[in-house]
Structure 1
Amino acid sequence: MIDLDIDMRQYDCPFIDTTDDVDIAFSAVQWQLDTDAEKLETRLIAKGDSMGELEEGLRALRTHPNMTDCYILSKRDNVAQIGTTIEQTNAMQTIQQNDGYITGPFQIENGRERWHVGFDDDEAEDRTLAQLDRHNDYEVEDRDQFGTSTLFDLLENSNSAMQLLEGCRSLTETERETFEVASQNGYYETPRETTLDELAGHFGISKTAVSMNLRRSERKILKAALTALEGMNDLDEL
């Protein structure tokens, strides 16, 4: 299996057009492509920079010529869960007709869309990308090729992977930034390539504050990693 991460700009997508004009972003939660009706049904999270931007973005989305249906499922402050039905875009049709498939949720922001697309072989991939280039602007950001055993292992341990991902997401912005800077500057190397004093100087805070931020981030990630390992061990026992 070949898996691509594609940074895409479609010229007939209502979500991309809306994020071009309004400070709003969309993340897909569920989606279903009806190839017979040539329509895509989705459930998305819409997040505006403000409540006003959210309302303006939803109004723009509803009036887009390629939008068939758009309704609000829930809304709070500047975030809403919405359901939509749109006309099949050129990119969707191209991927479907060349035996490609969507392998993960897509995100749309600032006029660009992040797609995760899979193919069974190189020929289908090459054919699809050549056709996409005619009517869309895209860049392949990442490409992975999995064998059968690797793919099975990924699927078998998907719950453990989600546990680890949720642990990373639980970090606050300060904790994440402190942890990343410490790691990038060799704090966890042996011997250490940076110190708490140097990190404190980088962030303009006390050494104690840096230490506390690191400990909190380490604790959250370690807890998530141990939970993920327990899930893997349970599968091994089965």
Structure 2
Amino acid sequence: MKLLMIELHQEDCSNIAVSEKIKDAELNLVNVREDGDYTHIDAIFLGDMFKENVISTLRKEKAFNINLKMKSRSEIWVSYDILTTAAWRNFSSLGCTVVPPLRVANGVEKWFVYTPDEISQRDIKRQLEMDNATHISRIRELTLKSFLKVIFNMDFLSDFIDTMEALTDLQVKTIKQAYVNGYYDYPRRCTLGDLAKINGISKNAMAKRLKSVEKKIFECLFGYI
């Protein structure tokens, strides 16, 4: 078996539509269970949003059996059912296995997929795009070691979730704002001064905000590397 990371867009997918219609929303699908014509989703929505907006958008996109738990203003846990998409049906026909968690952001889904050795990346791309509703932006093979270190390290996941839940709303907003605006890009798309100006504070105060949340995240991460 080979392990691939596939980035794709599904025009017939409720998850994609919701991520596009709720500004700055990122979905982390922690459990996906296909059952014939329907697929059950357990997801974590991250971003500044209201639960009423999430529910109404899911309903408009034909999701049903919606259950929602508000963890904070920037984190909502949701379970719901959607119609099974063409991509899922095509994956099943190839004998591939999709491994949660899946990420959905900016109209693109990132899947981790186990595939039989005899199936090439070209075969997968052709099969997924045969219905014209699915578009592949990138496929690359991953080493099992690099994948398992993060995805299947339950101690890491548990500690990381605890770390993120312990962050204040301001800390979550600060780190996400820096990321979205390109502070961590290379080259940077914004400076510390730009972020300070957005928040109406000094550069020194902005630096302290970032360092406080970076320290907590890095302490958790580097404890497992």
Under a length normalisation based on structure 2, what TM-score does the superposition of the two structures give?
0.64
Match for residue 15 of structure 1? 15
Q: Which amino acid aligns with 1:116?
A: F
Match for residue 66 of structure 2? 71
Relative to structure 1, the CA distance from residue 92 to residue 55 in structure 2 (aligned partners, 3 Å threshold; closer, same or farther) is: closer
Partners of 2:89 and 2:160 lie apart in 1 by 35
Q: 2:140 aligns with which of 131, 140, 143?
A: 143
Q: Does 131-140 or 219-228 show the bigger shift?
A: 219-228
Structure 1 position 201, deviation (Å): 8.4
Is 1:199–1:210's contact at 8 Å kept on the other side of the alignment? yes
Relative to structure 1, the CA distance from residue 33 to residue 219 in structure 2 (aligned partners, 3 Å threshold; closer, same or farther) is: same
Structure 1 position 130, deviation (Å): 0.6
| Residue ranges of structure 1 left out of the alignment (5+ in a row) | 187-197, 230-238
Q: Which amino acid aligns with 2:215?
A: R
Is 1:106–1:115's contact at 8 Å kept on the other side of the alignment? yes
Q: How does 1:133-212 map to 2 (within 5 A)?
A: 133-135=129-131, 136-141=133-138, 143-146=140-143, 157=153, 159-160=155-156, 163=159, 170=167, 172-174=172-174, 177=178, 181=183, 203=196, 206=202, 208-209=204-205, 212=208
The reply to whether residue 101 of structure 1 matches residue 97 of structure 2 is yes
Match for residue 235 of structure 1? none
Match for residue 85 of structure 1? 81
Is 2:9–2:16's contact at 8 Å kept on the other side of the alignment? no
Instruction: Say which SS state the counterpart of residue 95 (structure 2) adopts.
Output: coil
| Higher share in helix | 1
Partners of 1:54 and 1:21 lie apart in 2 by 10
Give aligned pairs, total.
208
Q: Does 212-221 or 132-141 show the bigger shift?
A: 212-221
Structure 1 position 51, deviation (Å): 4.8
| Residue ranges of structure 2 left out of the alignment (5+ in a row) | none
Structure 1 segments (4+ residues) deviating >6 Å: 76-79
Under a length normalisation based on structure 1, what TM-score does the superposition of the two structures give?
0.61
